[in-house]
Structure 1
Amino acid sequence: MKILIVDDDPIVAQSLATILSAETDIEVAGIGASGEEAVRLFTELAPDILLMDIRMPGGSGLEAAEEILAAHDRARIVFLTTFSDDEYIVRALQMGARGYLIKQDIAQIAPALRSVMAGVCVLEGQVMERSTIMAPTQAVTHQRNTIFARLTDREYEVVEAVAQGLDNAQVAERLFMSEGTVRNHISTVLAKTGLRNRTQVAVAWYRSELPN
């Protein structure tokens, strides 16, 4: 498989290239350092997978992904992230990214890329079916991760809607409740789970759907 690596840190980019090039089934087709370069190199090199940092100067990874996916809707894009990037992850998944990998988990990257080539998505190196990521409202509520175990069924429905990227008004319309009730449910969810905001709730939901 041909991989394009884009990261504004040249040490990270070169280290990834060296490690991945050692794999017999991986060819590093090119290296870029910005979102603008990602768009240009993707068009020039037609890689099987674009492995890209989310936050970069000269055009973020998210902006580059939007442009690439608009022109190549089947493009396989996997984001590199750190634990502090939660606010970007949900948007990345919803736009059609095939997943995200933690930069520090080097050993997980090559196996994760093979999974992506096989047609599935990966979150933090763990395989998740693409249909599960893109349709959170179809989740089976009785298979709850421990972090959501204390929620009522109604609270969990709110979590699923939030994970789909709905705002309070849209959640209220979908679940036939007032916006005030939605806000109350979200406050209760945060209190019960110890999460800080709705973005962390959404990311935790995606992670809860990973197979054990």
Structure 2
Amino acid sequence: MTRILIADDEALVRGGLRMILSARPDIDVVAEAVDGQEAVRLTALHRPDVVLMDIHMPGLDGVAATEHILADHPGCRVVMLTTFDLDEYVYRSMRAGACGFLLKTTPPKELASAVHAAARGDALLSPEITRRLIDHYTATASPVGVPELSDLTGRETEVLRLMARGLSNREIAGELFVGEATVKTHVNRIFAKLDVRDRVQAVVLAFEAGVVRPRRP
């Protein structure tokens, strides 16, 4: 059973998300929060597996709430909810540790699948969103130095570049003609060497450091 907390200042949105998710026998909506501060408090109280976090809320916004939650509950997965697929706060949210984001217009079936994916530890970042998001916010920025990147082997750097294209472990295995278990080992080593939580943070770091650059349309 996947335990979910919904944080959104709009009652209609919260109600709609609860109705969609509660219809699934393997999902339990344990609480609803009307703002970021309440999301932090209710996360500590209910310990959900996944928090669906609206980015724009009065008082403590979704980005700040995400930072607080993940600082105290690093095992929790936070998925940001937004109306726009290129919102200035989305990039900040990922740097804060969110595992991805969903549009509020996401179809019900995809919403449930995304919740389960987040609970499993997967990043919710499609190749198209990866390109557009990072292109929009980091393409013109000067690369920053990340000494830990020099610790990556050639194969690990190659895996990181494929991760930045949005490929799953299975797809990376196909590209490199190796087993999926081997890719998983490389990915875990990348996380450890870069001291990052998941694929999203690894990809953001790679773009910021200039290891990979946005692919133009």
> Which TM bucket (shorter chain)?
0.5 to 0.7
**Residue in structure 2 matched with residue 11 of structure 1 by the alignment:** 12
**Residue in structure 1 matched with residue 112 of structure 2 by the alignment:** 110
TM-score scaled to structure 1, two decimals? Answer: 0.61
How many angstroms apart in 2 are the aligned matches of 1:50 and 1:118? 13
Do structure 1's residue 86 and structure 2's residue 87 form an aligned pair?
yes
Larger radius of gyration: 1
Please list every run of 5 or more consecutive structure 1 residues that lacks an aligned counterpart in the other structure.
129-134, 145-161, 176-201
Which has the bigger relative contact order, CA under 8 A and spacing at least 6?
Answer: 2
TM-score scaled to structure 2, two decimals? Answer: 0.59
The offset of 1:106, in angstroms, is 3.1
How many angstroms apart in 2 are the aligned matches of 1:5 and 1:21? 12
How many angstroms apart in 2 are the aligned matches of 1:45 and 1:19? 20
Matching residue's letter, 1:29 = V
**Residue in structure 1 matched with residue 48 of structure 2 by the alignment:** 47
Cα distance change on mapping 1:72 and 1:7 into 2, 3 Å: same
Runs of 4+, deviation exceeding 4 Å? none
Identity over aligned pairs, percent:
39
The offset of 1:85, in angstroms, is 4.8
C-alpha deviations, 1:146-192, integer Å up to 9, x for none? xxxxxxxxxxxxxxxx95374xxxx6xx78xxxxxxxxxxxxxxxxx
How many angstroms apart in 2 are the aligned matches of 1:85 and 1:57? 20
Cα distance change on mapping 1:84 and 1:111 into 2, 3 Å: closer
Matching residue's letter, 1:79 = M
How many angstroms apart in 2 are the aligned matches of 1:85 and 1:21? 29
Please list every run of 5 or more consecutive structure 2 residues that lacks an aligned counterpart in the other structure.
131-148, 150-156, 167-202
**Residue in structure 2 matched with residue 63 of structure 1 by the alignment:** 64
How many angstroms apart in 2 are the aligned matches of 1:47 and 1:74? 10
Match of 2:124 among 101, 117, 122: 122
**Residue in structure 2 matched with residue 197 of structure 1 by the alignment:** none
**Residue in structure 1 matched with residue 161 of structure 2 by the alignment:** 139
**Residue in structure 2 matched with residue 29 of structure 1 by the alignment:** 30
The offset of 1:123, in angstroms, is 2.6
How many angstroms apart in 1 are the aligned matches of 2:99 and 2:90? 11
SS across alignment from 2:12: helix
The offset of 1:84, in angstroms, is 5.6
